Structure 1
Amino acid sequence: MPEPTAEILQQATVNWDAEGQPHATEFDDRYFSRVNGLSETHHVFLHHNRLPQRWTTSKRPLFTIGETGFGTGLNFLAVASLWLDQTSSGTLHFVSAEKYPLSRSDLQRALSLWPALSELANALVEQYPPPIPGIHRLYLADRRIVLTLLYGDASTLFASLLSSDHPFFSSRGNPTVDAWFLDGFAPAKNPQMWTDDLFQTLARLSAPGTTFSTFTAAGPVRRGLQAAGFEVQKVPGFGQKLHMLCGHMAAPITPEVSETDWQPASRNADFQPPWYLPPRLSPPVSALVIGGGIAGCATARSLAERGIAVTLIEQHPRLASEGSGNPQGILYPKLSSQRSALSRFGLMALLHASRYHQRFLGEEATGSPCGVLVLPKDQHELPLFEALARQHPAELVALVTGSQLNDIAGIPLGIGAGLFFPQLGWIKPVAVCRALTDHPLIHHQTAAITTLHYEQHQWQAYDRHGILSATAPVAVIASGTGSAAFPQTAHLPLKPIRGQISCLPATADSKQLKTVICGEGYLAPASDGIHTLGATYNIGETSTTVRAQDHRDNLAQLQKTAPEVAALFGSVEANHLDGRAAFRCTTPDYLPIAGPAPIAERYRLDYALLRKNARAHIPVAGACWPGLYLNCGHGSRGMSYAPLCAELLASQICGEVPPLEQDLRQAIHPGRFIIRDMKRGKQ
């Protein structure tokens, strides 16, 4: 059995000096000045980026800061505190890369040196992500502060924020950073970070007027920044440092190649066509969202929290009436032994969802943070479980055995081992959807939308009777398998798969179950006297009638997963059980669909050469319906996938830094199926 690919970063090794200050062993350098780290931050980064003055004169609702070394988070907390003190509205978005993240305990110890920042520091420590490579998004201070942590190499991950890696489009449609904090260990001790590639990437994420500052005055840094288009000044440094650098972006970077170089018949491309390039919009004042399940409600909430008025249209009188309507929804984990787009997206979505749903997991009315215990199919799967536990941080998952396993489950289990996810649990989807839409900018409307028409820069949504329900410059389709019912989206290869859950009345014994049990199926701890057991997987069926045979199938799955758990319910009569059947919305690659809606016919025309040569050089941006987006195809993992997809859509609509790397954004882009089929000769 192959060893799973590691999904864990090397954490920083920190030594603490006699004064209790942190020192990085890998770089033989301090995290901040011995004189006064907070004063150093104010002098180098806040003052020389002119932040207080800029915030006073600008009324923009979003200010974005990029940083090249998160370290202890001191710079972040200092600027976040200043933002809250000096502004009364708007959002500060802080984007920071870190290749060697501190452990949670070291972070907490380092930040305890700054009591004045304790409230923000405690919020940071509470949400601090495990050392898993990728992009992690956190929210503080009632979402007035957004922290996006890029775990990994700074140059690689900042490049992954670009809208395209194609040389003709490397400066098109990128999110814009307003100020750069060029931190990290000194260039002499950390030369791998201070590279020309990094400076060029920072320039592409900048606009004329974007500022920067850094503690160093090293010649290679100065020359690299100048070569990337920044105007650079040498100014007095902090403390014993004579000089530091600051400056601003003078002009956008111009690509070294031009589109006139394109000779489509002469050569293959080094870059794929930018079919995935998102359109650049001005943030809209309003939007309409079609679909009131978890995908639609999460999308509506993400847009509303950016100040956009949302009309949420659901065909049923009650939200979450179809695939999202089960009494208990599981934050379901599925780790893979192979590193792929599916496994990476699933992991990042799960981490995002675990933070996103914390507000619901802690409320008795909406869920329980009871953890999720995954059991092996048999003893032969135990080596894989052991390997998965080794390759992932214990904060995410741990292999539990013997008495520890039984203590977590609340009952003795014969299998002897399992993977426990302590940050997960179950939620009530209907209650969560109601809570998400309880926002003054979200208006809920009941209508069955059958037609979308675009006219005069507005999407018009008409119901089955031809009555206009709502208009807005942006529309998001999030209606499960119904998402392909419109002419603009008829090309989507969505497939409904029926699933039935069973509602098992709790017994005195079953009430001892303390965590979600997953294996062949899943069983949640009792809520309101009922356990949710599920779910069947019925391909090619169209009925939602609850069937006794499906109850028997669910019971058989539970018996196979954990006979000791099945025994808690005694003899169960399937004919007398309540349940619920609905349809999962699945895709051929099991990844969700999230992003701008492509114009299928234009794709087929613009990328026609792909039918003959899958590597054809076609530097043409993908044609998309203006302001139309999709959030669907989540299968049985809507509770885990939908929140991250909603955040991606909102960031694309508002031109913000995305919460996913470029290749993962491509992996879930709605246009991917057209491109794949053309390359395979299917279109």
Structure 2
Amino acid sequence: MTESLLFAPHDLPARWRRTRVFTFVDTTFSAFLPLWQRWRDDDERCDRLHVVATATLTALDDPPSTDDASPLATELARAWPMRVPGVHRLEFDEGRVVLTLAIGDDAHEMLSKLWLRADAFHLEATDDPRKLCKTLARFAGDGATVSANASGPLDVSLRRALESSGFECLSAATDTPLIARFAPRWRVRRHEPPLPCDAKTREAIVIGAGLAGCAVSARLAGRGWQVTLIDRHALPARDASGNPAGVFHPIVWRDDSVAARLTRAGFLYALRRWHALEDASHDLMRSDAGLLQIADTPEDADALAGAIARFAYPTDYVQPMTRDEASRIAGVDVARGGWFFPRGGAISPAAVCAAQLADGAARITSRMKTEVTRIAHDGDVWTAFDSSGGKIASAPVMVLANAHDAARLAGLYGAPTRNVRGQLTVLDSSALDALRAPVVGEGYAVPLGADGALIGATYDIDDPDRDIRDAGHRENIERVAGMLPDLARAPGEIRAGRVAFRCVTSDRMPMIGQLADESAARRDAHRLSGAWPLDLPRMPGLYGAFAFGSRGLVWATLAAELIASQVEGEPWLIERELADAIDPARFLLRALRHGEIGST
């Protein structure tokens, strides 16, 4: 593609100059490098350039050549994503240039699953462009431009589809490329595409300094926001985020379910963010031997081996393991086969939190030993209050990242979260001394080197007891011995224990995104009885990132980027279906649909 074909139809770079965000959508999978280079060459460039590209999975088979003379091509090749379907977000130039790759069986179908506001589109014409043009109309910002290679019958059908979707064709029928502009003369969509939040100042409050709160603070700070981080403890990462280590891995199961796709997206994005922190010389205490998951039964091991082959997952993502193969990787005998994640492992949650806060230190102000008992909105700003009614901080944006307490502060319908007590056990010298890699399954075991091995964890729903129990240690040993049989014969000595509380929902999915205005929804309950997530009224500037259960490491970085994208009106980094599955308003929405809430 020539630069004149790419830039001239969209009046670039003039249109992006001195703007906050410019979003370019490309279905030809060819625009990113020239756009990035032009952005770099422009002293008056936009603050953040987003390029959203769609392609089939085979496109990932051919990364940019590192032999290319262009240093940008070399940098892109180094960041090239793993060959798995879904949305991959790659960040360059300190996060100011973002490539979002939407990869699926059908590139145009994949585009329709996203959620964004676009300033420009570059298209590959199709035989039947009607569905594609309707997608463009859902995403188009004011005056968004379109360029497309089309001639003959394709030109005619594309023009008709664009015009029926609210676009005005600006080029003559014989011109190449076809050029159009979004200028609807009637309503062509039900919902407006994402806009940035209406904030007079770029200030935010984040409540909770665990994995979620630290990640959100860092992603907002990276976009230029001043963040006040509030936590009731003296230091960050004191609750579940203070465990000695945590495991991280995606889910692989017989079908590519919403949970599997969401966890894959979180896992891959977390790896990128952690790698960036490690490149900045932060030690996250991350293991490098992979992670082994032991199947519950031999039949499950066989079924998963078949699923891995059927989905054609690459070996750097997951590998099926027989019992003997798994035992060699673990360094100890295992009870059954399973599957191995070469890039999974264990990491220190506290080290991740510390690195994120250090990375955004210039824009993050911490208010530790401060408990928030109430929040309020005056129409412009959110204010956090302490137990005496004193004001802690005010800002137009607030993010609740304080686990179970978030639902209380927000007054969410139906008490959607529950606390789960988890007791960990640290073993001194034991049968796990030879363990080489973290192992998960019915429980988990993490080698800690000279500090022994960490095993766990109990799962005690609505149990508030903070005391260490001998019964909890025995339960942990029995559960892990079911995966690693030698532990039953030589359990060793218990060095220490720790109790932490996880927050979960009934569907075991996290709560991530903008909170609903529940009072407004109740007043309009009849109309909203058939509502979809985009129909719900939302609380201006109020977001949530909580109820991560035991997957905080995988979900926290994804939650932070999704919320920052929502605040800034940027393209979301996951499909809208996945965002709906973790929407904090989903329980309210179900109640409205089932008639459990009446208009008041």
Q: 1:421-456 CA deviation, whole Å, 9 max, x = no partner?
A: 112221111111111112111111121001111125
What does 1:203-352 align with in structure 2 at a 5 Å threshold? Answer: 203-217=137-151, 218-234=155-171, 243-252=175-184, 254-255=186-187, 281-282=197-198, 284-352=201-269
Aligned equivalents of 2:402 and 2:547: distance in 1? 9
Structure 1 spans left out of the alignment, 5+ residues: 1-39, 163-174, 237-241, 259-273
Give the deviation of 1:255 after TM superposition. 2.9
Contact 2:230/2:367 (8 A) holds in 1: yes
Residue 73 of structure 2, aligned match among 114, 121, 128: 121
Match of 2:540 in 1: 626
Q: 1:680 & 1:225 partners in 2: Cα distance?
A: 38
Q: Does 1:495 align with 2:411?
A: no
1:86 maps to what in 2? 42
- Alpha-carbon distance, 1:329 to partner: 1.3
| Cα contact 1:378–1:415 (8 A) shared by 2 | no
**Residue 501 of structure 2 is aligned with which of 570, 580, 583?**
583
Superposed, which structure 2 residues align to 1:14-413 within 5 Å? 40-55=1-16, 58-70=17-29, 74-87=30-43, 90-104=47-61, 106-108=62-64, 111-112=65-66, 114-116=68-70, 119-152=71-104, 153-162=106-115, 175-183=116-124, 187=125, 191=127, 195-217=129-151, 218-234=155-171, 243-252=175-184, 254-255=186-187, 281-282=197-198, 284-359=201-276, 364-392=283-311, 393-394=313-314, 395-401=316-322, 404-409=325-330, 411-413=331-333
Alignment correspondent of 1:428: 348
What is the aligned residue count? Answer: 584
Q: Is 2:22–2:46's contact at 8 Å kept on the other side of the alignment? A: no
Give the Cα separation in 2 of the matches to 1:408 and 1:361.
25
Residue 639 to residue 621, structure 1, CA distance change in 2 (3 Å) = same
Shift of 1:583: 0.8
Is the 8 Å Cα contact of residues 360 and 367 (structure 1) preserved in structure 2? no
TM-score with structure 1 setting the length? 0.79
For 1:35, the equivalent position in structure 2 comes to: none
Match of 1:449 in 2: 372
What residue identity is the alignment partner of 1:224?
Answer: A
Structure 1 residues 140, 677: CA separation in 2 closer, same or farther (over 3 Å shift)? same
Given residue 43 of structure 1, which amino acid in structure 2 is its aligned partner? S
| Within-5 A mapping of 1:436-585 | 436-438=356-358, 439=360, 440-446=362-368, 447-486=370-409, 488-489=411-412, 491-505=414-428, 510=432, 512-527=434-449, 529-564=451-486, 570-574=490-494, 577-585=495-503
SS of residue matched to 1:132: coil
How far off its partner does 1:195 sit?
0.9
TM-superposed deviation, 1:573: 3.1
Pick closer, same or farther for the CA change 1:234–1:562 going to 2, 3 Å. same
| Alpha carbons of structure 1 residues 121 and 550: separation in structure 2 relative to 1, 3 Å | farther
Q: CA RMSD in A?
A: 3.0
| Structure 2: tracts of 5 or more residues without a match | none
CA distance in 1, matches of 2:85, 2:284: 34
Measure the CA separation in 2 of the matches of 1:46 and 1:525: 54
Percent identity for Structure 1 against Structure 2: 31
Q: Partner letter of residue 443 of structure 1?
A: T
Distance 1:416 1:634, change over 3 A: closer
Q: TM-score, normalised by structure 2?
A: 0.89
SS at 2:240's partner residue?
coil
Structure 1 window deviating more from structure 2 (394-403 vs 449-458): it is 394-403
Partner Cα distance (1:348, 1:617) in 2: 27
- Pair 1:387–1:506, CA change in 2 (3 A): same
Q: 1:226 to 1:432 in 2, by over 3 A?
A: same
Distance in 2 of aligned mates of 1:525 and 1:620? 45
Contact 2:194–2:570 (CA<8 Å) still a contact in 1? no
Deviations 1:173-218 (A, max 9, x none): xx421222224xxx4xx53xx6122122213322333223233343
